[in-house]
Amino acid sequence: MDNGTHSPLAARGAARTIAHLWMILGVIIVAFPVYYVFIASTHSVQTILRPPLPLLPGAEGYENYRAAFSGEIDRIGGVSLWRLLGNTTLIAVGIAVGKIVISMASAYAIVFFKFPFRMACFWLIFITLMLPVEVRIQPTYKVMVDLGLIDTYAGLILPLIASATATLLFRQFFMTIPDELLEAARVDGAGPWRFFKDILWPLSLTNVAAIFVIQFIYGWTQYLWPLLVTNSNEMNTIVIALKKMVSFADADTPWNLVMVTSVLAILPPILVVVLMQRWFVKGLVETEK
Amino acid sequence: MAHIQLNDLRKSYAGQEVIHGITMDISNGEFVVIVGPSGCGKSTLLRMVAGLEGISAGTISIGDRVVNDLEPRERDIAMVFQNYALYPHMSVRENMAYGLKIAKMPVAEIDARVAKAATMLELEPYLDRKPRALSGGQRQRVAMGRALVREPAAFLLDEPLSNLDAKLRVQMRLQIKELHQRTGQTTLYVTHDQVEAMTLADRLIVMNKGVAEQIATPHEVYTNPASEFVAGFIGSPAMNIFTVRAEAGVAVLPGGQRLPLPGLPASGEVRLGLRPEDMVLVEAGTPAIPVVLKSVEWLGADAFGYGVIEGSEVLMTLRLPGNTVAKRGDRLHVAAAEGRIHLFSPATGKRL
């Protein structure tokens, strides 16, 4: 900035430039692979396989994307790109919404109700933090088989819904609600359900948004569990399909379509973050209630 | 509007009794202030009436209904909290209307009541603002408004003014007084501030350690405190209280001086209470308490002299006229004004 040199901050001008350069460098390092994926998705297989890969978009972009959407992926993986995107969206939204519902309900019970073994319940939930999906994957798989939930959306979503992290986050937030607010609502005649609906929920919205974003991405990028619990191609998520498209021999892999699919796999989470960014940040930093 | 009856009300936490049996009849439209130092149980008592705290023994009735087992919403009360507890995401209008909305009152009626309360509290310009866009005094008025629109049987206020600055507190105190006169609502008001207590109350409950030390009009509490605690708590500066020995109608002061006093027991020790403002200067030679001044604070209209009874370490505060020339080191002879002597039992603290 020109007038910056005349401001009291002028002395910091050089330091600021350096700081900016560092940040720009960081962004380049982080963003470059993503950019490269996008570039690759606009070239033909031949160009991709013949190094070096150009740094600028090629002319095949439109053709690649058109092919991907009009059955080319279907031919390779046995399932259409639309179906893959639909599956993944359904699972990611299902997991995010499910987690929010379950964790809000349990946090509400733990914070606002007095019942026997309340702290025991809290610690039980807390302990599950130490048991990631991978550790309990075999028993979970067995349960899903017994319930006949293999190759179903329920089977994909339900085991991933229970969330100690989200429960803890909501618990911490609920505990910042002053007691008087609850008491005022009680005097005003609000029962537990009305208090939740009219007061707690509106006050939690920014937190809900933040948790939705985090859990949507968590659900979108799931790999191990969908791999286990789905057999038919019809139930694949985009991440699984992507893996299946890559064969051992470089020459057999339609890299241009893999790159197109990668771009499409990255896009929705970015979209969710961008659209909910304002709320997301508010939910993470807001302390004053 | 309704009368409230507290009948031998008790509260225990984990076997520890914190409210030791309070009995009181509050008549319809009366303004009762519960006053006491922090931790005396005054807020607990109010919250028991509100239904926010359980009752361990005794009964509370509002109107002719025993409300012991009723939820707050079923008790027909409204409450104002110390930190106002406004719903932060609702506008002033929604805050006030919320309770009525839950009660499924017709919208037209809700609007009318909110409008009326807003006019009374001068809140019309702020009806669509959120609480965070209001000043402390305005938030306080919204909290009052939220209680007013309910038109409840009783108003319960828990230290409603203690979060305001001194000037605003005086203003709001007058406004609360005026509101009460206008609406004639039965009101229970908790405060630790004796000025609020004295100016607002029709009757006071002075509480100490879970016991109602005295339930009486402010005038009665001031002129005839029922116990040494009440005597020391009400009045500013605090009453001078010290032990004297009674000998055949004469009190032997801590400094050894002998002072004839009416109403003394035949013998034994007794606690003598004298308010600073009830002391008059007398000529040397007449029976009096000799006080050696340690310092004088001049406040304009009055001055306060702080000293000790000669020959002892017992502190005495005196209210002196504004034109006093008394200074540190002076020896003053003071006597209590006629009928302004308070005697308390050293054993029980009760008035003799």
* Span A90-127, pLDDT tens digits: 999 999 999 999 999 999 999 998 888 888 988 888 88
Instruction: State which residue of chain B sits closest to A177, comparing Cα positions.
Output: B85
- Judging contacts by C-beta atoms under 8 Å, the chain B residues touching residue A184 are 79, 81, 85-87, 146
Res B270: pLDDT? 93
Kind plus residue range of the DSSP H or E element containing B167: helix B166-183
Res A246: pLDDT? 80
Average pLDDT, chain B: 91
Q: Is B243 helix (H, G, I), strand (E, B) or coil?
A: strand
List all residues 6 or more positions away from B121 whose beta carbon is below 8 Å from its beta carbon: B141, B142, B144, B145, B148, B175
CB B250 within 8 A of CB B256: no
Enter the ipTM.
0.84
CB A126 within 8 A of CB A107: no
* Matching CATH number, B4-233, of 2.170.120.12, 3.40.50.300, 2.40.128.260, 2.40.30.10: 3.40.50.300
CB contact under 8 A, A188 and B99: yes
CB contact under 8 A, A186 and B87: no
Res A235: pLDDT? 86
| CATH superfamily, domain at B240-344 | Nucleic acid-binding proteins (2.40.50.140)
**B52 close to A (CB below 8 A):** yes
Strands B57-62 and B4-13: what pairing? antiparallel
Residue A123 tokens read as 């610690």
CB contact under 8 A, B73 and A198: no
- Judging contacts by C-beta atoms under 8 Å, the chain A residues touching residue B99 are 187-189
B8-59: pLDDT as tens digits: 999 999 889 999 999 999 999 999 999 999 889 999 999 999 999 999 999 9
Q: Which of B52, B87, B99 sits opposite A189 (nearest CB)?
A: B99
Res A21: pLDDT? 93
CB A144 within 8 A of CB A155: yes
**How far off is chain A from B96, nearest CA to CA, in Å?**
10
**A186 close to B (CB below 8 A):** yes
Res A3: pLDDT? 46
C-alpha dihedral (A193, A199, A203, A204), degrees to nearest 10:
0
Calpha distance A211→A161 (Å, rounded): 13
**A197 close to B (CB below 8 A):** no
Q: For a pLDDT cut of 90, what percent of chain B falls above it?
A: 71
Every domain of chain B and the residues it spans? 4-233, 240-344
Mutate which of A179, A186, A187, A288 to disrupt the B interface (most B C-beta within 10 Å)?
A: A187
CB contact under 8 A, B87 and A190: no
Res A288: pLDDT? 45
Query: Which B positions 168-227 lie with beta carbon below 8 A of chain A?
Result: none
What pTM was estimated for this model as a whole? 0.81
- Judging contacts by C-beta atoms under 8 Å, the chain B residues touching residue A202 are 89
CB contact under 8 A, B83 and A178: yes
CB contact under 8 A, A203 and B73: no
- Judging contacts by C-beta atoms under 8 Å, the chain B residues touching residue A180 are 81-85
Res A284: pLDDT? 65
Q: Is the pLDDT of residue B154 over 60?
A: yes
B323 C-beta neighbours (distance < 10 Å), count: 8
- Judging contacts by C-beta atoms under 8 Å, the chain B residues touching residue A178 are 83, 85
Q: Is B17 helix (H, G, I), strand (E, B) or coil?
A: strand
What's the alpha-carbon Rg for chain A, to the nearest Å? 24
Res A251: pLDDT? 64
CB contact under 8 A, B77 and A186: no
Calpha distance A176→A37 (Å, rounded): 44
Which parts of chain A register pLDDT below 50? 1-5, 288-289
Question: Any bridge partners for residue B244, and if so which?
Answer: B270
**A37 close to B (CB below 8 A):** no
Give φ, ψ of B128 to 5 degrees. Answer: -100, 10
